[in-house]
Amino acid sequence: MKILVCISQVPDTSTKIILKDNNTAFNSSGVTFVINPYDEWYALIRALELKESGIATDVHLITVGRADVEPIIRKGLALGGDEAIRIDADSNDPYETANYIAGYARGAGYDLILCGKESIDYNNGTTGAMLAELLDIDYIGFAADIQIEAGSAIVTREIEGGEEVDTVNLPAVISCQKGVAEARIPNMRGIMAARTRPLKVITPSALTPVTAILSYELPPAKAGIKLVSSDNMDELVELLHSEAKVF
Amino acid sequence: MNATESVKAIKGGEFLIRETAAESVFIPEEWNEEQLMIAETCTNFLAQHVTPNLSRIDEQEAGLMPHLMNEAGELGLLGISVPEEYGGFGKDFKTSMLVAEKLGGGHSFSVAFSAHTGIGTLPILYYGNAAQKEKYIPKLASGEWKGAYCLTEPSSGSDANSGKARAKLSADGKYYLITGQKMWITNAGFADIFTVFAKIDDDENLSAFIVEKGFEGLTLNTEEHKMGIKGSSTRQVFFNDCKVPVENLLSERQNGFKIAVNILNIGRMKLGGGTVGACKEVITSSVGYANEREQFGRPISKYGAIRHKLAQQAILTYASESAVYRASQNMEEATELLLESGVDAAKAKLKGIEQFAIEAAIIKVHASEALDFVVDEGVQIYGGMGYSAEAPMDRAYRDSRINRIFEGTNEINRMLTVDMMLKRAMKGELDLMGPAQKVAGELVSIPDFGGTEEAGLFTKEKKYIANFKKAILMVAGAAVQKLMTQLSKEQEVLMNLADMLIELYVSESLQLRVEKLVNLKGEEACKEQLDIMRVYINDAAEMIAKAGKEALNTFAESDEKRMMLMGLKRFTKTEDINTTQCRRNIAAKLIAENKYCF
């Protein structure tokens, strides 16, 4: 069984977001980038577990980005990926990204494609579903557990008040969230092996994105906390009405 | 003195008489992708496995430390510098230094880690024969066996060669029977392999032995109660006719003291890396707290008194780090040269390191004292919470203190710095005499008022550093001339000279690093680093002036003294700079980034 894991590069969670060009672009200068945690901690590690348990034979990684994303690809290889593919393009548009990945994965014989439930930078959460549609295979989102049995994936999803268990025939695309696997730290053997594992760079035919980012806006600064005495419910109601405007 | 030499030609101690080109030094901003990945593995290991368990570690929860060591072993962190043929990863000295730095903030775990990978493993790796290496090294590199090192005794600490432990050959000639008592043995509680130093019969010098935990006659005392590093296992180890097979003699008879000294040279450098890592952790905590803690309606990081502390913490850390990696690179290159000349790998490494023993001692002192300053100010920034055992500064403060004591006390290392420098001069390995005479000549000539050279970004600092060298050559030269053989007994003067050398080496390393960084990234991207350099060198000039004056006042007299004091003033003169503004700039960056960020 061949697994393709989609990974993307995102700013480290502790990054201080600074905008530039009149708030139309993110200033990436001095920013530390990491593998999107949902892609790494859950999708990639589950794929590696399936390989270690003998169910999968190959774990490939794919990302869309320029050469500057290669450090995160090599980290994926250091964790245990067998080979990696970099689609040499810039894309912040999920449809464009899904098209690039589909262009590579179509006919490449992957039985399972895993990705994170969303990337923590743009939080679209739609690439996986679009990819499945483009490849004309099934999609299950927000998996909290994935088991493979006889050509099917048994996927547990958390739903309001309980769990839902779905069975999907492979090939399929599954997006992963917490619970699917546990984060790992790359070991020295993996780090050293990463250098020698294949990293294919593919130049895609240019696509026109269907969305564009017009401007960015930082969330408003946190307002100060007002403490209201428990004896003073009238004041609380008044503040909720006039300041917080909850009703 | 003005000739800029390529670093390959630079020998240990030559920083006093030669200039180094900025492009030839290694700076930590040059780590490659693989090294950064190794660093990230260390950082994540600490964050996920060590930091959440620090209290349990300090309580010495049964089995926890060996378990953490096993986990580090599974990640390959115990075999970084062990050759691949012995199950390690054969990484260079700088990379192993990076690992020491990144794990340096791990408190007691860091101590266990450094003891195992340093003094626990290296004596066998560098001095063991093929059979010894094959038997022990793979298991030490994987962590299956843990290592410890038994040198210190109740009555022999700094004077290590005076140990009372004795070894005698058994009647059948198959064993050495070791009898003695060893003290302050790190990792003793869970170690499987001990490198033990003892004198055979009435030998003048120590020999070294590989002793397995299960050998008959080895017993352990209970855990010592310590001021800090409470989670690190420290015990006395008793040897009572401990039966050690003759094949476990390490290296040759009476070669033990040399082994001990050479292994300590590595340990001192690594201690520098580890303490720099600890400094960074403490600064990050300090900045975080200063940004969060509000007094008089504003975060305390808005106040100048706190900003000064944060900046000074960062200045010392960045300066120390510059020296650590400059020397690491020098050692590596010296080793490479020896390898090219046909020396075998282990010997080349030891010789390379031995050549930079002066720098190792300097780094040990500077970095351990930098950490003590950083933790002290960390406590102060935390205020009342700094004194609470619930906040992180309590542990940082207590754990820091040992670094000025182990791997040779800072006093011993200061004396060694001067002693080694002078011995090399006596042996003709280091030409101090020529440059010292030149400086003496300069004293009676018309002073150089400068102004002829082209003013570049580093012109002033380079001039100051060249002058620091003159100041040291003048004071040291006069001390040797006046005190002659008595100099070794004038420990106060030795301390003064060591302080001057330390400030010179660190100032120069810092200046070279910033110069290289500016060449790589441009001046605009290095504004705070330039401020760090300016403040450090400004302060170093004053420290060199003070130490030099103290020394001259000890042994010089009358006109000669007056002349040298005037020379000292000239050689330590710097232009006034607004250090307050520089520190504000440095602090502003730390505060904005909310972490150590240089």
Q: Does some domain include residue B421?
A: no
Bridge partners of residue B592, in order along the sequence = none
A233 contact B CB<8A: no
Residues B431 and B503 grouped into a single domain: yes
So what's the pLDDT on residue B453? 61
Which tokens belong to B497? 């000279």
Please list every residue in chain B whose beta carbon sits closer than 8 Å to the beta carbon of residue A14: 595
pLDDT for res A210: 87
Mark whether B209 and B263 lie in a shared domain. Answer: no
User: B45 vs A185: CB contact, 8 Å cut-off?
Assistant: yes
- pLDDT in the model for residue B27: 97
Last residue of a domain, one of B256, B278, B302: B256
- Helices and strands per DSSP (H, E), number in chain B: 19, 12
Asked whether the predicted pLDDT for residue B298 surpasses 50, the reply is yes
Which stretches of chain B sit within 8 Å of chain A by CB? 33-34, 36-38, 40-41, 44-45, 48, 74-77, 79-80, 89, 592-595
C-beta of residue B497 within 8 angstroms of C-beta of residue B554 = no
On average, the pLDDT of chain A sits at 93
Q: How far apart are CA B285 and CA B268, in angstroms?
A: 26
Please, what are the domains in chain A? 2-220 (3.40.50.620)
pLDDT surpassing 90 at residue A57: yes
| B202 and B171 in a common domain | yes
Q: Would you say residue B451 has pLDDT above 80? A: no
Which of B412, B441, B467 marks a domain boundary? Answer: B412
Domain C-terminal end among B225, B256, B287: B256
Confidence tier at B297 by pLDDT (50, 70, 90):
very high
Percent of chain B whose predicted confidence (pLDDT) is above 90: 88
Classify residue B249 by its DSSP letter. E
Of B153, B321, B354, B407, which residue is the catalytic one? B407
DSSP lists the bridge partners of residue B156 as: B153
CA distances from A216 to A16, A91, B388 (A): 14, 16, 43
Orientation of helix B304-340 relative to helix B491-521, angle to 10°: 90
Average pLDDT over chain B reads 94
**Span B65-74, average pLDDT:** 98
Residue B5 pLDDT grade (very low, low, confident, very high; cuts 50, 70, 90):
very low
Of A34, A114, A113, A105, the closest CA to residue A69 belongs to A34
The answer to whether the beta carbons of residues B195 and B150 sit under 8 Å apart is yes
Please state, as a whole number, how many other Cβ atoms lie within 10 Å of the Cβ of residue B30: 14
Nearest to B146 by CA among B136, B156, B155: B136
Q: What's the average model confidence in pLDDT over B584-591?
A: 98
Nearest-CA distance from A185 to chain B in Å? 6
Which residue among A14, A71, A188 sits closest to B33, beta carbon to beta carbon?
A71
Per-residue confidence band for B159, with pLDDT thresholds at 50, 70 and 90: confident
Yes or no: say if A74 and A158 are a contact pair by the CB < 8 Å rule.
no
pLDDT at B508: 98
Flag whether B176 is in a domain.
yes
Note the pLDDT tens digit of each residue in B367-410. Answer: 999 999 999 999 999 999 999 999 999 999 999 999 999 999 99
Residue A58, classed as helix, strand or coil, is strand
B141 and B152 in a single domain? The answer is: no
Q: Do A191 and B44 touch (CB under 8 A)?
A: no
pLDDT at B158: 81
Q: Are B510 and B522 within one domain?
A: yes
Q: Is the pLDDT of residue B2 over 70?
A: no
- Whether B441 maps to a domain, the answer reads yes
Chain segment A5-33, per-residue pLDDT in tens = 999 999 998 888 889 999 999 998 888 89
Angle (CA) A35 A14 B74, round 5° = 55
Same domain, B361 and B294: yes
Q: What is the pLDDT of residues B501-528, one digit of tens each?
A: 999 999 999 999 999 999 999 999 999 9
Question: In this predicted model, what pLDDT tens digit does every residue of B308-321 receive, in sequence order?
Answer: 999 999 999 999 99
Q: Is there a single domain that holds both residue B478 and residue B568?
A: yes
CATH assignment at residue B116: 1.10.540.10
Residue A88 tokens, joined: 């040499």
How high is the pLDDT of residue B484? 84
Domain of residue B219 covers 148-256
Is residue B101 in a domain? yes
**Element holding B238 (H helix, E strand):** strand B234-245
CA distance B240 to B55: 35
At B401 the pLDDT is: 97
> Crossing angle, helix B433-443 and helix B558-571, to 10 degrees?
100
Number of domains making up chain B: 4
